[in-house]
Amino acid sequence: MKKMSRRFSVLCLAAAGASIAACGSSAEPAREGALGQLALPLTTQGPSGVTYHLRHASFVIRSNSYYYEDSAGAGNSTGPVTVNSDDQPDAKSLSVSLEQGTYTVQLLPGWSFEKDGPNGPEAVVATLLSNANQWVWISPQSTSWAEYQFGIGDRAIWLNGKLNIDITVYETPSQYYGGAGDTGVGGATTAAGGASDF
């Protein structure tokens, strides 16, 4: 999936192509037909047509809920699953079989980016623009995907803003406090009809 705004080009990693399967531990065996697929894409094209690759990326997948209950009332849950792009460096995506339910996918620090250059892969600086934790729902017999957004360039390009420091001057307390009277020096209040001391 690709997104582009008038100001920024954003790389969105969507489901694609080749995959590997990973399995996590569970409290009970998965019920037949209850598994779905989670795709973790590693390759995408930018708006310019350049192909980019996410490298050295580790994803931790955690179940957020108990979906099934057996006759004893105990729910089945999938334990944390970790997959790494280095396990299949030529794959376009990683695929994980999971029981139906909600999951959080966490992209761990340490990832890097490459682009296809005329002489082979070239390292490029990229900034993660989306949250490192993504929520996904897995449905049986179907594929769900987690989307991460990256901007090509360092953090200063994508995340820095400007702070302007301004000053405001008030010549009377009534201008600041919004009162009808004008409090003078020494505790005197000047109002229509005269002045009085506190």
pLDDT at 181: 55
What are the E-state strand segments in the chain?
2-4, 9-12, 35-41, 43-45, 51-55, 58-63, 81-84, 93-99, 101-107, 112-117, 120-124, 126-128, 133-138, 143-145, 149-152, 182-183, 188-191, 194-197
- Give the H/E segment covering residue 155: helix 155-159
What whole-number distance in Å separates Cα of residue 161 and Cα of residue 139? 40
Classify each residue of 28-64 as buried b or exposed e, where b means 16 or more C-beta atoms within 10 Å of its C-beta.
eebeeebbbbbbbbbbbebeeeeebbbbebbbebbbe
pLDDT at 84: 96
Contacts (Cβ under 8 Å, ≥6 apart) of 109? none
pLDDT at 99: 92
The series of mean pLDDT values per 10 residues for the chain, 198 residues long, is 33 34 36 79 95 97 68 50 93 93 96 96 97 95 94 96 96 88 48 46
Output the DSSP codes for 96-149.
Answer: EEEESEEEEEEEPTT-EEEEEETTEEEEE-EEE-S-SEEEEEE-TTSEEE---E
pLDDT at 19: 32
pLDDT at 179: 74
pLDDT at 79: 74
For the chain, the domains span 2-159
